[in-house]
Chains A and B, each alone.
Chain A
Amino acid sequence: MFARLNHIAITSDQYAINAKFYEALFGLRTAKKPRPARAVVVSDGHVGMNIIPRREGRTAGLDHFGLEVQDIEEARARISKFDPSIKLLKRPPVRPFAAYSAHDPDTNIYDLSEAKMQKDIYAEEQEETVRHFSHFALRTRHAERCAEFYNEVFELSPLNKKADDRNHYLSDGRMTLAILQWDIDDYYGMDPQRLGPDHIGFTVESIDAVKADMEDLTGQNPLMRPRPLGYGDEGKARLGLFKKCPLGSYHLTDIEGVYIDVHEA
């Protein structure tokens, strides 16, 4: 593949403990040489997730993703051909996973790097964890146009979907980028959610095992309790919209409310 989804980023008010949650429940691993003043990075051996302390002026939540490409200059040329108004921004060298940051036609942000640029956990040879990332989902205004963008520029392959499904699913061969259609009509019974990253997905060996581990984890450490889902009319409405993504069959959140859906291998 020309590109692979290798990076996910969450900004967090409780970044250290949220990282522990992902380590404890999903078995993700931290970098061998962590940088304690910056984000905590956890990995499934293939995709790294940066859990970034929320900085002033920024929002807290699922924030962006990153792609590793074979050739950044080729990616630049393709982006420019697709939409000349889209600009790439070179990033400071402190970030091992982001040589550039860019955005799609709907201003969804992603980082770009090449394999030879990777450092830290992104360059470490790690065995894949049993529970691993499966998808990253965006909710955006022009889902079809964005799907065309990721297909034409990054060669992500469209996956089959039901005829009446307004969403689009593109694969790098391992990870899926789900591009969900944002529509204000979906928000009658709840506050409209802002456009942008919506949820992350995991493949697990057993949903029952995840449920059992979650119960045990909450008992061992109540600070690692996911948020309850589906309570009250608004909670039901939120969960109903979340469940419309067909890639997961069990739904939960991390300790801060970031949506996670899970399916069995």
Chain B
Amino acid sequence: MFARINHMAMISSDYPLLERYYRSLFGFVNSGRNDPEASTVVGDGNVGLNILPRRDGYVGGIDHFGMVVESLAKVDERMKKASARAGMVKRPSYRPFAAYSAHDPDGNVFDLAEESSKNLADVYAERDGEDRDAMFNRFAIRTVNAEEAAEFYTDVFELQLTNRKEGDPNYHLTDGKVTLSLMPWKIEEFVGTSIKRAGPDHVGIKVKDLDHFKSEMKRIGDKNSFLASRPLGGSDEANRRRDFFAGNALGKLQISDPDGNWLDINDE
């Protein structure tokens, strides 16, 4: 593939705790070599999850994703051709995963690096290709012009549109391993709940055995309540949020991490 999704990023006021959550529940690994003064990174051998401390002025939550590409020059050329509403900016050289940050026509932000880049480091360079017990398999964005955004990612990054179930309004693009889902944002979808802003929506993770995963989730949450997944549902509004998430999920189980980030779990 010309491009592959190699990282996802979250922003958290409790970022070390989230690292422990993803390590303990999913078995993701931390290289131990990332800068302890900056973010923390856990990976599955293919995708790194960068958990950033919430800095002044930023919002907490799922924030962006990143791709490594064969050629940044080609991306630049294709982006200019694909949309006048997309753009990119060069980033400082010390970042191990982002030579450029860019945005699609709707303003959704993603990082870019070249496969041959010398500054691919930490978990971003430790791609072992092993099939682990848990693997990131999806990054889902809710955006106003989902169809246009899907065309952008296929034209520029050669992500492949996958078949979708009848009636599914969302677009699912794959790099062969990880799916980028683009889901239309409409205010009418939020009947009975607070309005969720457009942008990153949820992350998908594939596990080998869902029953085992559920029992581990219970065991870990019982042992250390700080690492318990947040329950979904409860009040009328919470039930609507849960049902809304489930209606757009591709997995069999929907949970949220201790910060409230939505996770869609599948074993297929």
Contact = CB atoms under 8 A, between A and B. Distances in A.
Interface of A: 13-14, 52, 54-64, 87-89, 92, 101-103, 107, 109, 141, 182-185, 187-189, 191-196, 198-199, 227, 229, 233-235, 238-239, 242, 253, 256-259
Interface of B: 13-14, 52, 54-64, 85, 87-92, 101-103, 107, 109, 144, 185-188, 190-192, 194-199, 201-202, 230, 232, 237-238, 241, 245, 256, 259-262
With a 10 A CB-CB cut-off, give which of A54, A88, A102, A191 has the most chain B CB atoms.
A191
With a 10 A CB-CB cut-off, give which of A54, A87, A185 has the most chain B CB atoms.
A54
A196 B60 CA distance: 13
A57 B256 contact: yes
B60 A87 contact: no
A56 B235 CA distance: 13
Contacts of A13: 13-14, 60, 259
Contacts of A182: 107
A144 B54 CA distance: 30
Contact of A188 (B13, B91, B259): B91
Given A188-B92, A199-B57, 11 more contacts: A13-B259, A55-B237, A56-B238, A57-B241, A101-B190, A182-B107, A184-B102, A242-B56, A253-B56, A257-B13, A257-B56
B186 A242 contact: no
With a 10 A CB-CB cut-off, give which of A92, A229, A234 has the most chain B CB atoms.
A92
Contacts of A259: 56-57
A61 B202 contact: no
Contact of B57 (A88, A198, A233): A198
A110 B264 CA distance: 29
A194 B187 contact: no
A60 B13 contact: yes
A137 to B, nearest CB: 11
A62 B237 CA distance: 21
Contacts of B52: 191
B87 A14 contact: no
B131 to A, nearest CB: 29
A227 B56 contact: yes
A192 B185 contact: no
Given A60-B13, A63-B197, A257-B54, A54 B60 contact: yes
A185 B89 contact: yes
Contacts of A141: 85, 107
A155 to B, nearest CB: 23
Contacts of A183: 87
Contacts of B197: 59, 63-64, 107, 109, 196
Contact of A89 (B64, B191, B201, B262): B191
A184 B87 contact: yes
A184 B187 CA distance: 26
Contacts of B144: 107
Given A109-B195, A195-B107, A89 B59 contact: no
A257 B12 CA distance: 11
Contacts of B241: 55-57
Contact of B101 (A62, A191, A258): A191
Contacts of B91: 188
Contacts of B191: 89
Contact of A58 (B57, B61, B101): B61
A229 B56 contact: yes
Contacts of B59: 59-62, 194, 196
Contacts of A191: 52, 55, 58, 63, 101
B229 to A, nearest CB: 10
A115 to B, nearest CB: 22
Given A13-B259, A57-B196, A89 B187 contact: yes
Contacts of A61: 58-60
A200 to B, nearest CB: 12
A60 B194 contact: no
With a 10 A CB-CB cut-off, give which of B107, B109, B245 has the most chain A CB atoms.
B107
Contact of B58 (A55, A89, A189, A193): A193
A60 B89 contact: no
Given A13-B60, A60-B13, A257-B55, A87 B188 contact: yes
Contacts of B60: 13, 54, 59-61, 256
A257 B232 contact: no
A64 B190 CA distance: 15
Q: Which 7 A-B pairs have the closest CB atoms?
A: A61-B59, A60-B60, A59-B61, A56-B256, A56-B260, A59-B59, A257-B56
A234 B92 CA distance: 10
B41 to A, nearest CB: 14
